Amino acid sequence: MDFQFTEEQQLIRQMARDFAQAVVAPTAGERDREHRFPVEEFRQAAELGFAGMLVPEKYGGSELGTLGQCIVVEEISAACASMGVTISVHNGLCSGPLVRFGTDEQKQKWLPKLASGEVLGAYALSEANAGSDAAALTCKATPDGDGWVLNGAKLWITSGSHANMIIVFARAPEGISAFLVDTKSEGFSVGKVEEKVGIRSSSTVEIMLDKVKVGAECLLGDVGQGLKIAFNTLDGGRIGIAAQALGITQACLDASIKYANEREQFGRPLGSFQAIQWKLAQMSSELEAARLLTHKAAFLRDAGEPHTRIAAQAKLIASTLSNRSADEAVQIHGGAGYTTEFPVERYFRDARITEIYEGTTEVQNIVIARDLLG
C-alpha cells in the first residue's frame, strides 16, 4: 500500500492550506460571531477549483475525487469548520449524487455551474420527524402531468438559505424519490433559521415546499430510487465530515502546541510538564490513525469498492476524536481557553456537531454492527 500522496495531491494540499490560512482563517472568528455565511470565501474557493472536486473535467470540474476532496476539506476546516462543511456539502451531497445518478441533460445543465461556484448546492433529506430514520419522511411528490408537485417541509438544511439548487427527497406513490429543485421555483421558501452552538458561519435552515412544480427532467434517478441515492450519498458525506473533524483536531493540536510553548507556569513552559506532553502525544497519535482511516475510506469510494462500513468507521472515529481534542485543547489553555480570546472555544463548539450530522455516532455504530453481523 502506498502511503504517499501523488505530486498532484501534494500540490492540492499546499494550495488548500495556503488558501485556508490566507483567506479563510482571518475572517473565521468574525463570521462566527456575526453568523455570516462565507459568500466571498466560497467564491474564491471556487476559483481554485474547490467547488467542482467531484465533477468531471468535461463539465468544468477539477475532478479531484473523494480523496482530493478530503485533503481540501481538512485544510479548510482547520481554519474554519463552517467553511469546511459548506464545501463538503456542495461537493459531496449535491454535485456527487448528480455525477453518479444524473442524466446527461441534468449534468450538462447543473454541473458546470456547480463547478464554477455560480450555483451553490444543498441536500434536503431530514424532516422534523425523519432525522436518523430517513425512511419516515412525509414530504410528498404528487404526479402532475409530465411532472411533479412537491409539498412539505425539510429541516436542518445546510446552506439552505443561500443555495441555488437543492436535491430534495420526497415520497412519491411509488416510493421515496429525489428531485433537483431550483430555489427560485414558485412555492419554495426558507423557514426557520436555526440559532446554533457552533458552525455559526454555516447556515442551517428549514425549507418550505408549497405546491412547488418541477418537471419530469428534475427527477434524479428513477422513481422510488430515493433512499438508494440518499444512502449512497451519505456514504460519501460521512467521509467529508470525517475530513472536517480531522481539520478541527489539527487546529486543536496546533493551538495547543503553540500555547504550551508560550505559556509559562512555575517558571517554565507549560509544555515541559509531562501531563501536557501526554495530552499532545495522544492527540497527535490518534489524529494520524483517524486520518489514515478516512483516507482509506475515500480511496475505496474512488475505486468503486464497498465502503459503507469503513466510511461509518472513519466518521465515528474522526468525530469522537475531534470532540476529545477540543476538550483537551480548552483544558490545556485553562481559563484562557474558556474565553473568546483564543480560538479553541470555537473549535470546542464546532466539534460537537460532527457527532450528529451525516448520521449520529449511534447511527454509525448501527451501520458498522449490521455490516459485521451480516
Helix axes 344-352, 81-88, angle to 10 degrees: 40
C-alpha cell at 72: 481540501
Confirm if 202 and 86 have CB atoms less than 8 A apart: yes
Residues 6+ away with beta carbon under 8 Å from 353: 196, 197, 198, 199
State the pairing for strand pair 121-124/165-172. Answer: parallel
What's the angle, vertex CA 262, arms to CA 259 and CA 19, rounded to 5? Answer: 55
List of residues 6+ apart from 279 with CB closer than 8 A? 256, 328, 331, 332
Catalytic residue among 105, 341, 358, 362: 358
End-to-end CA distance of the chain: 27
Q: Is 358 a catalytic residue?
A: yes
CA-CA distance, 137 to 143, in Å (whole number)?
18
DSSP character at residue 202:
S
Please tell me the distance from the alpha carbon of residue 92 to that of residue 47, in angstroms, as a whole number. Answer: 18
Q: Ramachandran region of residue 130, left (φ > 0), alpha (ψ -120 to 50) or beta?
A: beta
* DSSP string of 306-329, one letter each residue: --HHHHHHHHHHHHHHHHHHHHHH
Q: Report the C-alpha gap between 370 and 364 in whole angstroms.
A: 10
Q: Enter the DSSP assignment of 82.
A: H
SS3 content of the chain, % helix, strand, coil (to 5): 60, 15, 25
According to DSSP, the β-strands at 219-220 and 175-182 are antiparallel
- Closest CA relative to residue 349, chosen from 251, 213, 220, 275: 251
Task: Return d(Cα 107, Cα 55) in angstroms, integer.
Answer: 9
Task: Tell me the catalytic residues.
Answer: 358
